[in-house]
Structure 1
Amino acid sequence: MDTKIWTEESDNYTRRAIEVHGEELYNTSDRLESSKDVFDNISKFIKKPKSILDVGCAFGASIEALKDRFKEASFFGIDPGKESIQIASKNLSNDNISCINGFSHELPYEDDKFDIIIFSMVLQWIPRKKLIRTISEVDRVLKVGGIVCIQEFLANKPVTSQSRHDEEIYIFKDDYASFFTSYPWYKEVYRDLKKTEDGEDQQRNISIVKKYNIEDVYTLKQAAMEKV
């Protein structure tokens, strides 16, 4: 079971958004509410980030909403959709913003670059064969002390379904914070479950996961003194 999400669905998502929202593409109530949640929760842990990466940035809605809130930060967006990135680059022209084509499992950035990495309704789309590599890449480019902000559906148990737009595309709903915290140098420091009234398939979660220094996590076991 896999998906053709990388080849076309990102641009299809952007086209649907333009068709529905037109000139209000970046200012819908849902997007503004979502970005406020992201900002409010990130700000509890990092007040003045220097570098923020939005993985699966599409046409740049999250970056547009956050750039005036984190005025001192440099923003980076990456997405497989060529049309999506063209639109993002055109509309978010700024010396502090860079949006490029690429993939979550092959991040073209140096080690320890980012204070914050955002996944906003993205991890559910990643092919399962690429998920472990994605987490490894995030770990590589995230600074110690940095955070991963995850917005996702949170079903009561892992579930997959076919996209209503294309039956060859699969969506995987899971508790993605737990994928990171399976490694002891990641700790979930915040969680907020929303829209529970909509049922378990539609309820959503915001999680903040923080990266700690490996040396501070593991206790060094001292060798026993040799008997004299």
Structure 2
Amino acid sequence: MSNPTVQQDEVFRSGEGDAWFRRNAASLDAHAGHDWILDSLSRLQGRADIRTVCEVGCASAWRLARLPEVLPRTTRRAGFDLSEDAVRHGRARDPALDLRFGAASAPPFDEQFDLVIVSFVLHWIDRALLTRSLAAIDALVAPGGYLAVADFLPDSPCRRRYHHRNDVALYTYKQDYAAAFTATNLYREVSRSVFHHGDTQGALQAAGDGDRASCVLLHKPLNAYPER
């Protein structure tokens, strides 16, 4: 029996990614408030050493556009997304950004970055491509670099039906994705913020199982396996 979610990434690549962006473009363009990833980076002791950044699933790249607020010494800001509309929109708004069309499982960059950002992307990814996507994201992070992962944080892993499409079985999958990287022993957790997914003010408030999210900043040390 075939898995109805195996083609999930292709559905987003072939049009649903653009549909998602059109529904959310106005709010993304207006996003000038609190952002947990920018907040975490603003408190990172080693942020002055970050020169190159890539955002996986960057949408219109509003966060990359704001990145100099907290990382003023960056020399390269790149990103990619499965929505061609979002990529075109981001390029028009800020030509200084290197934005491309691509999926987490097959990034359109063959270089490594000081910082890679993955914000509320992994829960969309087809389960058949999850481990490939995690490996591809890891390959983007330079040794000694950082990985910022933000996503839902339920009490236990779960999935939820995607309500914008009834013609095909699409799901979002919620779990602690930062744990997938630390489990390899290649990453060390630097900071973790737990918050209500709907919060835009950076306020501390209670969040139930369905609304709880986390932003985890990870470091990829140069020597993860010291000799003893």
TM-score, normalised relative to structure 1:
0.84
Asked if 1:108 corresponds to 2:117, the answer is: no
Pairing partner for 2:209 from 196, 200, 206: 200
Q: CA deviation at 1:108?
A: 2.8
Q: CA deviation at 1:6?
A: 2.8
Q: CA–CA distance in 1 between the matches of 2:12 and 2:87?
A: 15
Q: CA–CA distance in 2 between the matches of 1:209 and 1:66?
A: 18
Structure with bigger RCO (C-alpha 8 Å, 6+ apart): 2
Taking every aligned residue pair, what percent have the same amino acid on both sides?
Answer: 23
* Shift in CA distance, 145/219, structure 1 to aligned 2, threshold 3 Å: closer
**Alpha carbons 1:5, 1:169 under 8 Å: kept:** no
**Alpha carbons 2:55, 2:78 under 8 Å: kept:** yes
Q: CA deviation at 1:205?
A: 0.5
Q: How does 1:127-206 map to 2 (within 5 A)?
A: 127-167=126-166, 168-195=169-196, 197-206=206-215
Give the match's secondary structure for 1:217.
Answer: coil
Q: CA deviation at 1:68?
A: 4.2
* Shift in CA distance, 10/45, structure 1 to aligned 2, threshold 3 Å: farther
Give the match's secondary structure for 2:33.
Answer: helix
* CA RMSD across the alignment: 1.9
Asked if 1:210 corresponds to 2:210, the answer is: no
Larger Rg: 1
**Alpha carbons 2:101, 2:108 under 8 Å: kept:** no
* Shift in CA distance, 208/68, structure 1 to aligned 2, threshold 3 Å: closer
Gaps of 5+ in 2: 197-204
Aligned length: 208
Q: CA–CA distance in 1 between the matches of 2:176 and 2:89?
A: 31
* Shift in CA distance, 45/171, structure 1 to aligned 2, threshold 3 Å: farther
Gaps of 5+ in 1: 222-228
Q: CA deviation at 1:127?
A: 1.0
**Alpha carbons 1:154, 1:174 under 8 Å: kept:** yes
Pairing partner for 1:81 from 71, 80, 83: 83
**Alpha carbons 2:114, 2:144 under 8 Å: kept:** yes
Q: CA deviation at 1:193?
A: 0.9
Q: CA deviation at 1:47?
A: 1.7
Moved more, 37-46 or 145-154: 37-46
**Alpha carbons 2:100, 2:108 under 8 Å: kept:** no
Report what 1:90 is aligned to: 92
Moved more, 113-122 or 133-142: 133-142
Report what 2:99 is aligned to: 99
Structure 2 letter corresponding to 1:182: A
Pairing partner for 1:14 from 21, 26, 37: 21
Report what 1:224 is aligned to: none
**Alpha carbons 1:32, 1:65 under 8 Å: kept:** no
Report what 1:126 is aligned to: 125
**Alpha carbons 1:155, 1:203 under 8 Å: kept:** yes
* Shift in CA distance, 45/143, structure 1 to aligned 2, threshold 3 Å: farther
